[in-house]
Amino acid sequence: MGLAAFLLYTAPLWTTLVALGMGEKPSKRGVVGVSLVIIAITLIGAQATKGSISLIGVLLGLLSGISYGSYIALARRFARVGNEVDVSWGAIPYTLIITAPTAITYSIITDSWGSIVNPALWGVYLGIVTTVIPYRLFAIGVSRVRASTASVIATVEPVLAAIWGFLLFGQVPTALTLVAYALIITASTIVYFEGA
């Protein structure tokens, strides 16, 4: 995975800053968790660059992290006042605006109009199973924990992706990547027990 993709996982930093601006202070464990995630992403980023860095890729990666982090902070704010259903359903327009045109464009480019049913079914799957359900669960969770905590726990995603990559495709992470993933797991564990 490229550096731009990993910069998405700077989201805990942006989530914490946006939430702080909205009056929610992170706990001490939250600050430690966010710091560990940023160190882990720095390690992964250093390995992902291996010589050349695209300024546009870095900017787009950071913008994706800022966007995702802002979403988490805003989701926390709305869920905290009882609007968690609105937060989870807010992802649906993305599915309609992005996924459907992407499937249609793909069909046009590949001249596969005869098999539009398959992309349409995948679009429904992506819209429901990978968008509505996860965002609904996320909205329920973020109503109960700080924004910084939610964003740190969300960074377990690349770790799980690496596990699936290993199990399904035999992709073996490097030692440095494993160290970074251990930091992410440690960060998630630290913030998970902040209420204890």
Domain ranges of the chain: 1-82+146-196, 84-142
38: nearest Cα among 140, 187, 165, 166: 187
Q: What is the rounded CA–CA span in Å between residue 190 and residue 153? A: 10
pTM summary value: 0.73
Tell me the C-alpha distance between 103 and 100, whole Å: 5
Instruction: Tell me what pLDDT residue 51 has.
Output: 60
- CA 136-1-17 angle, 5° bins: 55
Quote the tokens at residue 101: 């045109």
pLDDT > 90 in the chain, percent? 22
Render pLDDT for 45-76 as a digit per residue (tens, 0 to 9). Answer: 777 666 666 778 788 888 888 988 888 888 88
pLDDT per residue as tens digits for the range 7-36: 888 899 999 999 999 999 999 999 999 999
Give the pLDDT score at 192. 87
User: What distances in angstroms separate CA 54 from CA 10, 57, 64, 162, one per listed residue?
Assistant: 17, 5, 15, 24
Percentage of the chain with pLDDT > 70? 79
Q: Chain centroid to CA 124: how far?
A: 21
Taking only the tens place, the pLDDT of each residue in 114-156 is 566 676 777 777 777 777 788 888 888 888 888 999 899 888 8
